[in-house]
Amino acid sequence: MKKDINLKFKVDLASLEHIGFANEICHMMEDAAKKRGTGIAKRDPNYIQQKILEGKAIIALELISNTVAGFCYIETWENKDYVANSGLIVSEQFRHYGLATQIKQKAFELTRKKYPKSKLFGITTSLAVMKINTDLGYKPVTFSELTTDDTFWAGCKSCVNFDVLTRTERKMCLCTGMMYDPKEEKKKGYEEIIKVQKKVPSKVKEPKSKRIKISVPKVLRKKEQKKNDDKE
């Protein structure tokens, strides 16, 4: 597909002015699911509007035509212990411009800001989404490590593969589960710091010119020497 170099995009937090795009966003999600034959097929426009008003959605716009180019929103589960960036969609006419990555990055940053201690997770059949998630620090996990909230799994009912999920008692499906655990990332960060410190020679860690020098007066040195002589 040939790119139009004249197109201009803006990826930002969705707000009240974007409420009118809710229906179009839902149609985009449904059409995309039908074409790939898998995935979540339907979303209610009222639900999309709610996410926008709550400040939990990222939208991409093509500025010249003022057309919605992509969308994603945040959902929370189990008292906000688990958070998902859901409904990632890019309009077919605006694909191959890197919008999915930009939208996902913005959604990730927004989620980390709002819920810094929560585990971010998602399920997807898209290789492109898997790559984006991996670049953000997500790791593949089993479904047993994801949220147990029934409301989340009920959202899969509109997927054509829902029967697979129910037959396996939510242990597996065609989707791949992925998770970003902030505790694991923090631990990894500490391990990297320790690893680097071990490789750095002690002289480099603390240059001689910067070492603290303690000057002991000559009189005190003599007294200390006299005490040692008396002990002997």
Residue 59 has a pLDDT of 98
* Domain membership flag for residue 1: no
* Domain membership flag for residue 210: yes
Rounded Cα distance between 114 and 182, Å, is 13
Residue 229 has a pLDDT of 63
* Domain membership flag for residue 53: yes
Rounded Cα distance between 100 and 109, Å, is 14
Rounded Cα distance between 179 and 76, Å, is 14
Q: What is the domain-level CATH number for residue 21?
A: 3.40.630.30
Pick out the chain residues at pLDDT < 70: 1, 38-41, 187-232
* Domain membership flag for residue 225: no
Residues paired with residue 72 on neighbouring β-strands, in sequence order: 58
Domain of residue 42, residue span: 9-220
* Domain membership flag for residue 231: no
Residue 185 has a pLDDT of 78
- Count of structural domains, the chain: 1
pTM of the model: 0.76
* Domain membership flag for residue 138: yes
- Cα separations (Å) of 10 from 42, 65, 99, 155, 157? 25, 12, 9, 29, 33
* Domain membership flag for residue 147: yes
Q: Both tokens of residue 154?
A: 């009920």
Secondary structure percentages of the chain, helix, strand, coil, to 5: 50, 20, 30
* Domain membership flag for residue 227: no
